[in-house]
Amino acid sequence: MSVDLVAADIGGTHARFALATVEGGRVVALGEPVTLRAAEYASLQTAWEAFGAGLDRPLPRAVAIAVASPIGGEVIRLTNNPWVIRPALIPERLGVDRFVLLNDFGAVGHAVAQAPADQFEHICGPDAPLPDAGVITICGPGTGLGVAQVLRTASGYHVLETEGGHVDYAPLDAIEDALLTRLRARFTRVSAERVCAGPSIGAWYETLAAIEGRAVAELDDKALWAAALEGRDSLALAALDRFCLALGAVAGDLALAQGAKAVVIAGGLGFRLKDKLPLSGFAERFAAKGRFQQLMASLPVKLITHPQPGLFGAAAAFAQAHG
């Protein structure tokens, strides 16, 4: 029997909603998403009502909500959004009978588990499908560095949310030593997220400028990424190259730690790098693990290209939970 529901992906800046249909533990349809600016709404409930007002039908009485925040406790406070969500009040406030609430990167894990093969692009390693059994490591650079894993077994799959983006960062050459020194003065402890997420482009840029003795104008992260991706600034392009090297090293470390059979790159920034990563030093750094280099080179690394992995994954989580 099929079930209609609303899939929601709530981040710091945007709240996305879409109608979805699930059947037999799988997502069989995902409607056109509606994106609202979170700052323009007082709460999840008022954003939900605005989404419903734009439909020509009543809202389904089921919802799957992915939020950019750890899940647990009686109150959920989003990391970069002032909304407060009380799980116990969701049925009453949203008028639903069934709901699933999960972390946004947990939703990405469900998307990786259920998305068809044509929604992945090959990055490096063997150009083979994702394995039917074993662990798939997911690494998602964006505003932060999301990390999760999918365990596939003969009886189905399990998504394990982690905080792997906050492991200590290990520099591998003199330039990365210089970056680490710069970041340590600012943060004391330097995690992988400080080096392999969107905001790190500024630190890379400043570090390379200092090595060359350049005085550079202050640019925000958005401007630096645009200059790098468009090739308009040679120093920003060099910072992008260094970012890809570091991301390869961190993704390889995560795969080793999780015993992965494959790796999937996700995240908003990951998607923007889909044409850059295969041509960068990502693959070399990913495999450069000493005695385990041959093992690392045998792992397929892919990038998920689904346009709405958070919404699709939220619906997939509902499908798994409610069969």
| Rounded Cα gap, residues 310 and 107, in angstroms | 5
Q: What is the pLDDT of residues 202-240, one digit of tens each?
A: 999 999 999 999 988 788 999 999 999 999 999 999 999
pLDDT of residue 99: 96
pLDDT-derived band at 94, boundaries 50, 70, 90: very high
Structure-block tokens of residue 251: 């993704």
| Rounded Cα gap, residues 91 and 196, in angstroms | 38
Residue type, 19: L
DSSP annotation of 11 reads: -
**Phi, psi torsion values for 116, nearest 5 degrees:** -70, 160
| Rounded Cα gap, residues 144 and 187, in angstroms | 15
Burial class (CB in 10 A: 0-12, 13-18, 19+), 275: exposed
Q: What is the pLDDT of residues 17-68, one digit of tens each?
A: 999 999 999 999 999 999 999 999 999 999 999 999 999 899 999 999 999 8
| Rounded Cα gap, residues 13 and 142, in angstroms | 13
* Proportion of the chain above pLDDT 90, given as a percent: 87
- Burial letters 104-116, b for 16+ CB under 10 A, else e: bbbbbbbbbbbbe
Looking at every residue in the chain, the average pLDDT score rounds to 94
DSSP string, 84-112: EE-GGGHHHHHT-SEEEEEEHHHHHHHHH
Helix (H, G, I), strand (E, B) or coil at 76: strand
Unique residue bearing structure tokens 């992915």: 66
| Rounded Cα gap, residues 151 and 139, in angstroms | 15
Structure-block tokens of residue 54: 């734009």
Selection from 226, 235, 244, 230 nearest residue 281 by Cα: 244
pLDDT of residue 192: 97
For the chain, what is the largest distance between any 2 Cα atoms, rounded to a whole number of angstroms? 66
pLDDT of residue 71: 87
pLDDT of residue 184: 96
| Rounded Cα gap, residues 27 and 116, in angstroms | 11
For residue 80, pLDDT over 80 is answered with no
**Do the beta carbons of residue 149 and residue 93 sit within 8 Å?**
no
For residue 168, pLDDT over 90 is answered with yes
Q: What is the pLDDT of residues 189-199, one digit of tens each?
A: 999 999 999 99
For residue 99, the cross-strand partners are: 63
| Rounded Cα gap, residues 91 and 96, in angstroms | 5
Structure-block tokens of residue 300: 């397929």
pLDDT of residue 41: 95
Structure-block tokens of residue 17: 């909603």
Structure-block tokens of residue 93: 């406030």
